Structure 1
Amino acid sequence: MTLSGATPGVAYRDGNVLRWTAAYTASVSGDVVFFLTLPWAVTRMAGPAQVGAVLAVGAVPRAVLMLAGGVIADRFGPGRVVIGSDLARCLIVFCAAGLMQFAAARLPLLFAVALIFGVIDALFMPAVGALAGRLTDVGQLGRVQGLRMLAVRLSNAVGPLIAAIVLSAAGVAAGFGLAGLLFSLSVGLLLAVRLNRIQPGVRSTGSPFADLKDGLRHLRRNRQLTRLVVVVGLGELCFSGPVSIGLVLLTAERHWAPAVLGWTLSAFSVGGAVAGILLTALTRVRRAGVALACCLLATAVLVGTLGQVTTAGLLIACAAVLGALSGVASAIGNAVLQRKTDPRYLGRVSSVTSLSTVGLSPLLYPATGFVAAAWGTGVFFAGCAVICLLAALIAATKSVRGSEL
């Protein structure tokens, strides 16, 4: 991965950005396949009771080490860290595939795979967030985030279908092998990506801990940046998994067929993909801060409504609109955040938002089930609506709503 001083073109016509988009799509698809194959393997080997334990073994180091991953991304450059961690993920899942195929695999193997994968993810997540902010000039960041949203939602829509076909036809080893192939495709594409937004300054000569404190001080000194981080973190917290689990519980509570759940989750992904296409096509987002606050407010209302829906058709329609609204809010929020962040701190700032979305959201999984069992899924969705409303209120403050793209 190289740096280039050439002036980048429109994001969706820039081969460099499109290579990154393809690489990111392959990587996210690999994530989807891996995180479906792992619990499938655990269930077949030890029963469903061990699934939560294995996933927790991966989630804990991911959350604990996420801020350190941001420091590493800024010290060594997000490009190197993304390629290295993607390559490491490729190797670990290929090893898992080989052991599942040719050795007498045991449950400790899956615990080890989950643990190592979680540690690597703590490096990968902040770096990939920082990398998106250095692909092109600041005028194209909204389009880059639109492409990112398109990649995520398409991967979430198609990935489970591919994984299900492979697992049913060829088993767990093939599932891990498919994830490894997707990660290797991502690495190959990333090697051809160049960085156009130059990172100023000299590499830190202090300790990693000093760099971490410097990054946190940078956030604390910049009120607008701090509020943007909180808005993005709160806005995405419920959509990194808890809402999907809530939809599973809602369809079960209403005694709807599994097909309703499938259509609902697909509609959510398609809505986000449409939002990504729209944002990619726009020349600019006027009054981006106001648009962000309005989208988050509408998202809060719609999330609260989901818990009260009583017909399957209305649930699917609401999910599609929710996917679009949350996609727009996420893309605008991340684009504004990256525009306002000094490139020297992109990794550390990205690690804070990643901690909120990927690191902490798994902690809501037990709460999701508990709240739904005790008071019903309507109360859970109302709680998610309150979180989105809080994000909207912060986005409506003067320092955030005046943001432009």
Structure 2
Amino acid sequence: MSVESQIIEMQKVPVTKNRNFMFLFIAALFSSPGYYVYLIGAEWLMLTLTDNRFYFGMLFLAASIPRLLLLTAGGIIADRFNKRTILFLSDASRALLILVLIFLVWTDAVTAFHLIGLAVLFGMSDAFSYPALNALTPTLLHDDQLQRGNSLIQMTTQISPILGPALGGGMIALLGFEGVFSIAFGMLALSSLAVLLITLKKDEEGVEKPTPWEDLKEGFRYARKNELVISVVIVAFFINFFFSGPLAIGLPIIVKDIFEGSAIGLATVETSMGIGALLGAILLATIKLKKPGVALIGSLIALGILTAGTGLSVYLYLTAILVGIMGFLIQLINIPLMTMMQQTTEKKMLGRMMSFLMTVSTGLVPVSFLLTSSLLAAGVSIQLIIIVSGTVVTLIGIYCLKNKTIMRYQ
């Protein structure tokens, strides 16, 4: 079957009846929550092992640096090799890493440095799975189905902060760390099995380039000519610096140190974000945005305001409400952004463009984690850090109102 025939066929098959896409959806349904179950367990374990919050920040930094360094290679590999195999190896390797952690916890040998080392290996795995997943989705669906398909995949991603913290926080309390990490292992193992059920045509995988170096140069040439790619990446580059680090590191610390809460309290806040994000994904799976660029920028401004409000909050449940609304807004930013990129990118370039987007947009995230950790170590309040970060995100959003490439995108 030719590529053109496959595209025509994809038009006739609804997203929810597309066999390959549904297996991808099921795999993501296990993979993302499984990772979050592991993550909340690792976060709380780190907070339990040491009172030095610098090490807690290093948990995020350790994952982000190898992810950043290897993303470009991950994009090239996604365009040259079987994307299904890449996703399988990623989920299977993460499951094995969790088995190692279970052994360390069971033998009471786990240390902060073990958690940081495992975070490095998880970051390496992410660098290859992210471009493969986002390049595979538009390969399985027609362009007109991408917003809905991305929304469904995002649902699984955002069910993660719901099921992940709920299962993780509950299992820490009931079964201890061995229980929470065992659940994470099982979910990632099931995800890897679901990926194996996806079948791809040979011509869906694209044509291999003579050398990876030529692939890399072609990718950069293509990105430079795409005005939308440049606009989106520049905006995301600065947003991630002022949002990802302070919030990822800040929420667990606020719950434990400011609110004097427990793992259940952290689960409540992170679950709230997951619920908001899930509602945003459901909304975009049922409606089609006429002006996605306007929705993206408007949501960005509101996100910055609410982030600053989170830093001002002195109540756990008020924080959970604010974070829930932020989760909703994040979907109104991420899904249109991803759909714009996929719709305007040639299929053979998708892996490289997805890795380019994440590499550049998250380029400052390790610096953000390091700076946030350093400020905390210097005695700066995490609440002040979050207030300033939210204010800057708001100003970036207001400035982006001048960006006609994004604002006028149909």
Same fold (TM over 0.5): yes
**In structure 2, distance between residues paired with 1:61 and 1:133:** 26
Question: Does the CA contact (< 8 Å) of 1:231 and 1:392 recur in 2?
Answer: no
CA offset digits 1:170-220 (Å, max 9, x no partner): 4444443322211111112122235699758521112x2332232122111
Deviation at 1:233, TM superposition (A): 4.6
What is the count of residue pairs matched by the alignment?
A: 398
Residues 1:392 and 1:234: Cα distance change in structure 2 (over 3 Å): farther
Aligned to 2:80: 75
Equivalences for residues 367-378 of structure 1 within 5 A: 367-368=371-372, 373-374=379-380, 377-378=383-384
Equivalences for residues 173-252 of structure 1 within 5 A: 173-194=178-199, 199=204, 202-206=207-211, 208-235=212-239, 240=244, 242-248=246-252
- Higher mean alpha-carbon deviation, 284-293 vs 368-377, is at 368-377
Question: Does the CA contact (< 8 Å) of 2:29 and 2:156 recur in 1?
Answer: yes
Question: Does the CA contact (< 8 Å) of 1:136 and 1:197 recur in 2?
Answer: no
Deviation at 1:136, TM superposition (A): 0.5
Question: Does the CA contact (< 8 Å) of 1:73 and 1:347 recur in 2?
Answer: yes
Aligned to 2:345: 341
Q: Determine whether 1:62 maps to 2:67.
A: yes
**In structure 1, distance between residues paired with 2:21 and 2:91:** 18
Deviation at 1:146, TM superposition (A): 1.5
Equivalences for residues 355-370 of structure 1 within 5 A: 355=359, 360-368=364-372
Aligned to 2:89: 84
Residues 1:59 and 1:48: Cα distance change in structure 2 (over 3 Å): farther
Aligned to 1:157: 162
Deviation at 1:122, TM superposition (A): 1.9
User: Given the two structures, how large is their TM-score scaled by the length of structure 1?
Assistant: 0.83
Q: Structure 2: which amino acid aligns with 1:85?
A: S
Aligned to 2:272: 267
Residues 1:133 and 1:228: Cα distance change in structure 2 (over 3 Å): farther
**In structure 2, distance between residues paired with 1:96 and 1:316:** 30
CA offset digits 1:82-121 (Å, max 9, x no partner): 12222222233234435654x6846476555343333222
Residues 1:257 and 1:302: Cα distance change in structure 2 (over 3 Å): same
Q: Structure 1: which amino acid aligns with 2:146?
A: L
Deviation at 1:230, TM superposition (A): 2.8
**Which of 294, 305, 329 is the equivalent residue of 2:333?**
329
Deviation at 1:239, TM superposition (A): 5.3
Q: Structure 1: which amino acid aligns with 2:210?
A: T
User: Given the two structures, how large is their TM-score scaled by the length of structure 2?
Assistant: 0.82
Unaligned runs of 5+ in 1: none
**In structure 1, distance between residues paired with 2:271 and 2:404:** 36
Deviation at 1:40, TM superposition (A): 5.1
**In structure 2, distance between residues paired with 1:109 and 1:314:** 35
**Which of 30, 33, 45 is the equivalent residue of 1:29?**
33
**In structure 1, distance between residues paired with 2:130 and 2:229:** 19
Aligned to 2:293: 289
Deviation at 1:386, TM superposition (A): 1.9
CA offset digits 1:60-81 (Å, max 9, x no partner): 3222212211111112143221
Residues 1:361 and 1:342: Cα distance change in structure 2 (over 3 Å): same
Unaligned runs of 5+ in 2: none
Residues 1:75 and 1:236: Cα distance change in structure 2 (over 3 Å): same
Question: Does the CA contact (< 8 Å) of 2:56 and 2:249 recur in 1?
Answer: no
**In structure 2, distance between residues paired with 1:368 and 1:178:** 31
**Which of 7, 12, 17 is the equivalent residue of 2:10?**
7
Deviation at 1:313, TM superposition (A): 5.6
Aligned to 2:21: 17
Q: Structure 2: which amino acid aligns with 1:61?
A: P
**Which of 107, 119, 123 is the equivalent residue of 1:118?**
123
Quote the sequence identity (%).
Answer: 25
Question: Does the CA contact (< 8 Å) of 1:99 and 1:105 recur in 2?
Answer: yes
Aligned to 2:285: 280
Equivalent position SS for 2:299: helix
**In structure 1, distance between residues paired with 2:139 and 2:390:** 32
**Which of 133, 137, 141 is the equivalent residue of 2:142?**
137
Equivalent position SS for 1:307: helix
Equivalent position SS for 1:286: coil
Q: Determine whether 1:399 maps to 2:405.
A: yes
Aligned CA-pair RMSD: 3.4
Question: Does the CA contact (< 8 Å) of 2:65 and 2:366 recur in 1?
Answer: no
**Which of 369, 388, 392 is the equivalent residue of 1:386?**
392
**In structure 2, distance between residues paired with 1:293 and 1:227:** 12
**In structure 1, distance between residues paired with 2:140 and 2:243:** 25
Aligned to 2:133: 128
CA offset digits 1:1-29 (Å, max 9, x no partner): xx992325333454443332221121111
Question: Does the CA contact (< 8 Å) of 1:62 and 1:359 recur in 2?
Answer: no
Question: Does the CA contact (< 8 Å) of 2:72 and 2:356 recur in 1?
Answer: yes
**In structure 1, distance between residues paired with 2:380 and 2:391:** 18
CA offset digits 1:292-319 (Å, max 9, x no partner): 2222222223323333445656544333
Q: Structure 2: which amino acid aligns with 1:78?
A: K
Question: Does the CA contact (< 8 Å) of 1:145 and 1:332 recur in 2?
Answer: no
Equivalent position SS for 2:139: coil
